[in-house]
Chain A
Amino acid sequence: MTGLPPPPGPSVRAGGDEPSVVELSVDEPSVDEPSVEHDRAALARPQRLAARGAVIYAWEGIRRLGSLGALVALAAFFNDYLWIAGALLVAAAAYGMAAWWRFAFHLSDDDKLVVTAGVFGRRESFVPLDRVSSVDVQQDVVHRLLRVVAVEVDTPGSTSAEVRLPAVTRATGEALRRVCAAHTRTITPEAADREAETEITSHQPRTDQSIAASATNPAATRDEVLVHRSPQELLLIGLSSPLDLAPIGIVGLLFAGGGIIENLIHVSVEDTTERLVGWFGGPQAVLAVIVAFIAVSFMTRLARTVVTFYDFTLWRSPAGLRSAAGLFERRERAAAYERIQIASASHNPIQRRFGFAMLTISMAAAGVLDTKKSIDIPGVTTQEQDAVLDLALNGNPFATPRLHTISSYARRRWILFGTATITALSAVALGAVAWLEPRLDAAPGTLGELSIALAATVAVSASAMTALAHWRWKGWRWGVSNEYIATESRWFSTTTTGCAAFKVQQVSLKQSWGQRRAKVATVQISTAADWVTIPHVSLEEATWLRDLLVYVAETDPRSPL
């Protein structure tokens, strides 16, 4: 990759049972770490959350008072009824502590994680370990101070974590993760044997290892570092990422609020604007503000990238992939290979020039908008991408030839909708000016001049829209084989998405009125992690694609989950 040094090789650092407060131990497990049997025995007895977790629960209880409770407490405080506010807070904290006291979990003999909770009622949840798709270990600032971690255990088919253990010791969290991973391994040898009889295994790197042996040999369970990102690499990735629009919105709102900035930092917006105009002149002042916004957006994006992906490391293990990253909140995610459903890589023109992309691996149970069930791998090179995809999806779906295009109906539709939107917005703006003109004592002819300007804007925008729509349409490609389906779409960034055909859960063909007239359809392919959508495909191709994917899903004996 141009600009990025090669990732470091595997490193073996011993991690203790109790990590230091400063750094979450995400290193490879040591050879002398507790055996899985030991972990099972430790988790088999019903136990409460970590004692220090009571503090988190007490705070959660207070937080659950919500805005109404906070208002009552504030009202009582300012009306000399301090005891009411105090009693409310103490009661909320006591409720939280009771919730902590009543929360218990253990691993049953039939390999189910059993969680009981509830202060007044009693709720019991059972998560069969063979259904676990991911185990996330998180540690935010409070968790770090208290030397505990939060563990989320997820299964396919849900949009949120099935079970969350909000505060357990690091050793317990790691033990649970190891047990889940080992359970996956114990059911994998059969699948590996089965696959060994087929042609499929010819391109399966992970079956090269002795998975059965790894379940019993601790040395074989050591994870290997696949990808690591240094701070310098993250700086480059952050600089090449799209602009962060959030600060522009926030500053815009502050300006709209008028005196808010003035009151907060004693800087008058009007004075600042006048000063800028004085320094740069009228149009230059506007340009200076735009440049300042872009600079702030760049900095925000940069900071966010570094904070989110600080010390990013991706490991491979016999059972799955595991990642850890974060400066303030260290978040660890693990995904069993069998649960990985979709991969997508996106890069903008700058990132393309540097030769890297953002790769996202989505696991079963990820909701459409819920990205927390994905592993985002920043700044992957082509080689890294191929290595990760070989592991995650038993091959490289992105290598599927994307020979098919979408119908030119898409281009016509995008041009029509884009132009119609711009025209409608221009008409609204013109209407607003026509309404305001007599009320603002504007100079005669302002409306006429503005109409000409808006008409010119519409004409230029429509031309630009036509060119953009054509560019976007030319960049839309899709391809399918018996093994994989892949799509490539282009807007400002280019996104490639791929999944194994046997992971498909459902296929839908949708046709709007316009699509029926044009004899095209949109194909929606559902997997346990996300949709893959191919818009405006000719009806003949769409029907063929649906029939093919359904056929593969029905005949391929491999489990999609």
Chain B
Amino acid sequence: MVTSSFVNRAIHPDDLPKLDPAAFVPVSDRHRTLLFIGRAFSALVAVIFAIAVPLVFGLDRRLIVGLVALCMTITVPALVSVPIVHRYLGWQVRDHDISTRRGVFTRSVATLPFSRVQNVALRQTFLDRMFSLGRLDVFSAGVGGDLFIVGLEADTAERLRLLVLERAGVDHTDSNEPVTQR
């Protein structure tokens, strides 16, 4: 028979462990450069299309000015906002949970207890590898309850992955997915 000492006592609000906003760890500075490169590349592609499409299809040349202006209206704020986006990105690990912080206009702070972690994944795009960065995805069974941290130093990401797996008690040598396909 399994016994437990669990008792559901009342908790005073002052006794609750609080998430400290000042304890969030900022993501790597290199992620700012990477964000800028990514957005600049998107802007360049958009401008090329804005010029090429009217030329290829023989449309009015004045359309080029309009389309390029439209692209600039969208991409320039996206480029200018990179430092703001980067400044608010952060993560925090406590004894029993992991939290992330992100957003410019709508800011969000998400907290996921380790006991709810189902799986962890480390992802690196081509640019991530060039900048020695990585993205950590932490999956739970919750609806929309997955959490991710971008712009982590590659070694930090790996150490964080192992820490989350250890704290969550997930056996990382065997998939914890309910259904495996082969």
Q: Decide if A353 is an interface residue (CB 8 Å cutoff).
A: no
| Dominant SS among interface residues on chain B | loop
Contact A197 B143 (CB under 8 A): no
Number of chain B interface residues as a range: 35 or more
CB distance from B73 to the nearest CB of A (A): 20
Could you say which of B1-9, B35-43, B60-68 contacts chain A?
B1-9
Q: Are A123 and B181 CB-contacts (below 8 A) given A198-B6, A516-B107, A551-B11? A: yes
A477-534, CB < 8 A from B: 482-483, 505-513, 516, 524, 526-531
Instruction: Please state if B108 and A509 are interface contacts (CB–CB under 8 Å).
Output: yes
Complex CA gap A155/B178 in Å reads 7
Q: Is the interface of A mostly helix, strand, loop or mixed?
A: mixed
User: CB of B58 within 8 A of chain A?
Assistant: no
Q: Mark A545-561, 1 if CB is under 8 A from B, else 0.
A: 01110110110110011
**A543-B18, A547-B18 known; A512 vs B8 contact (CB < 8 Å):** no
Distance, CA A507 to CA B143, complexed state (A): 11
Partner of A508, one of B9, B96, B109: B109
Contacts A157-B141, A510-B107 hold; do A194 and B4 have CB atoms under 8 A apart?
A: yes
The reply to whether the CB of B110 lies closer than 8 angstroms to some CB of chain A is yes
Q: Which of B49-57, B111-119, B128-136, B155-163 contacts A (4 or more CB under 8 A)?
A: B111-119
* In the bound complex, CA of A131 to CA of B179 (Å): 9
Q: How far is the CB of A120 from chain B (nearest CB, A)?
A: 16
Contact with B along A127-154 (1 / 0, CB 8 A): 1100100000000000000000000000
Q: Which residues of the partner chain A approach B13 to less than 8 Å between Cβ atoms?
A: 544, 548
- B137 proximal to A (CB < 8 A): no
| B111: chain A residues within 8 A (beta carbon) | 506-508, 546, 550
B145 interfacial contact with A, CB 8 Å? yes
Residues of chain B contacted by A191 (CB below 8 angstroms): 2
B173 contacts the other chain (CB 8 A): no
Segment among A244-252, A306-314, A343-351, A361-369 that sits at the interface with chain B: A361-369
Chain A residue numbers with a CB within 8 Å of B143 are 366-368, 526-531
Residues from chain A with a CB closer than 8 A to the CB of B116 are 505-506, 553, 560
Chain A residues with CB below 8 A from B96, complex form: 554
Give the interface size class of chain A.
35 or more
A531 & B144 in contact (Cβ 8 Å cutoff)? yes
Given known contacts A506-B142, A526-B140, A547-B19, A125 and B180 CB-to-CB distance under 8 angstroms: yes
- Cβ of A539 to closest chain B Cβ, rounded Å: 11
Nearest A residue to B139, CB-CB: A157
Residue B16 CB within 8 A of the other chain: yes
Given the contacts A126-B179, A157-B178, A526 and B19 also touching, CB distance less than 8 Å? no
CB–CB B141/A528 < 8 A: yes
B178 touches A554 (CB 8 A): no
Return chain B residues, CB-CB under 8 Å to A528: 141-143
Does A233 belong to the interface (CB within 8 Å)? no
Nearest chain A CB to B65's CB is how many angstroms away? 26
Give the CA-CA distance A123 to B145 in the complex, in Å. 28
Inter-subunit contact A506/B145 (CB<8 Å): yes
Task: Please tell me which one of the listed residues B1, B105, B182 contacts residue A513 in the complex, with CB atoms under 8 A apart.
Answer: B105
Contact B3 A194, beta carbon cutoff 8 Å: yes
Given A530-B143, A554-B97, 16 extra CB contacts under 8 A: A125-B179, A125-B180, A157-B118, A163-B179, A191-B2, A482-B8, A505-B112, A506-B116, A506-B145, A508-B109, A509-B108, A510-B106, A510-B107, A526-B143, A531-B143, A544-B13
